[in-house]
Amino acid sequence: MSPHTNEQSSSHDDNDMTTSLGGLALHSEAGAPHVAGNGRHGNVTGGHCNKGFSASYSNTKSNTNGNFDCTERPLLAGVYAPTPAFFDPSTEELDIPTIRKHAVRLAQGGIVGLVTQGSNGEAVHLSHAERRIVTAATREALDDAGFRGVPVIVGCGAQSTRETIELCHDALVSGGDYAMILPPSYYKTLYTAQSQYDFFVTVASESPIPILIYNYPGAVSGIDLDSDVVTKLSKHPNIVGCKLTCGNTGKLGRVANAAPSGFMTLGGSSDFTLQTLIAGGKGVIAGLVNIAPRACVDVFNLYAAGRMEEAEKMQAVVGRGDWGAIKGGVVGTKSCLQSYFGYGGFGRAPLPRPSPEKAAEYLADFEELLLLEEFLNSGSREEDIHYDKKNEFSQLVELERMLV
């Protein structure tokens, strides 16, 4: 599988905000730019404006104004990265240069797609305007670096059907290719199985871009969509995949084998990449990719090449590293990026800022994985095997010897 200046956003009222970013006009809901042209997906009709929304919203994408192109960016089997939103450590304003730099680093590591406004992207800490800016900056950075074919999936979950659809439109005008949707959860005790099903059907029918179902019980008060519901939803022409962060590989296998051909059943964590592929899934969307994209991608590549022994051993190293990411969440991920790569900063308040001692602890959790990433980036050469770490990481050294 082929791999594929600190700028700050101004603070304005979201109802009249217009931000220009590299030629992308990003307007608020009250003034969203009209986008017209040929439909990008056969099941979405051109020229349709959703009932109840401003006529400035359209289901189609155009290149007539020079801002967006109509290139199809299919979802490919492989590894996807849910990118963090980066902030200035003093002001907490968006750090656009770091957002751009990180997106390109991930693409250079071989990922096949990026996700903005996922759990790692602190979507719950962003205004609608900031969400659009992050997605647009990511799309622009990929295009400028020659990764025009890498799709951008945008987290668009919200508590109401109406706002979720609104965010899907925002994703489109910001350069997003797909929307990823969590089920609503605030009124959990009042929802029925049918109301959750109807939510996804309505959003999919009204969204101008295809959607993926995001099943992450930990983020939605324990709501866990079962394989029957996901399989039934997979039949909708505008629902093209799912991310299963529940970790239930039995469910994943049932969905992967019952959904229509081409449906992207994706695992939601790097620690079960190999298990996902064996069960019939197409890949993963995993936060650990932000730290070690090449190692995460190589688990997929080794499996695809039929090199199962190496794939299993690399999965073991990746899985141990992912435990650090699971424990530390976005705080630990950003801390590692800052300690090891020199960028990353902190999450927005009220997320805690780790002490120097805690930052060292986070970095130690990723040490073995970072050594593997270093080895892979150097070309997997004999002279780069970490023999000096054999006592601490004997399995790592064994894997590196196999990869030379």
- Residue 245 to residue 224: CA distance in whole angstroms: 10
Does residue 243 carry a catalytic annotation? yes
The pLDDT of residue 72 is 82
243, 282, 313, 334: the active-site residue:
243
- Residue 366 to residue 207: CA distance in whole angstroms: 39
The pLDDT of residue 39 is 31
The pLDDT of residue 216 is 87
**Tokens (6 digits) for 362:** 């986070």
Q: State the burial class of residue 361 (Cβ atoms within 10 Å of its Cβ: 0-12, 13-18, 19+).
A: middle
Exposure of 317 in the CB half-sphere (CA atoms within 13 A)? 29
- Residue 345 to residue 402: CA distance in whole angstroms: 36
The pLDDT of residue 199 is 97
Dihedral angle of Cα 243, 117, 348, 374, to the nearest 10 degrees: 70
Strand bridging mode 78-82 / 113-116: parallel
Which 3 state secondary structure label does DSSP give 50? coil
User: For the chain, which ranges sit under pLDDT 50?
Assistant: 1-71
- The residue count of the chain comes to 404
Strands (E), 156-197: 178-181
- Residue 156 to residue 163: CA distance in whole angstroms: 9
The pLDDT of residue 29 is 33
- Residue 374 to residue 392: CA distance in whole angstroms: 17
The pLDDT of residue 369 is 98
pTM, rounded to two decimals: 0.84
Nearest to 346, CA basis, from 333, 361, 327: 333
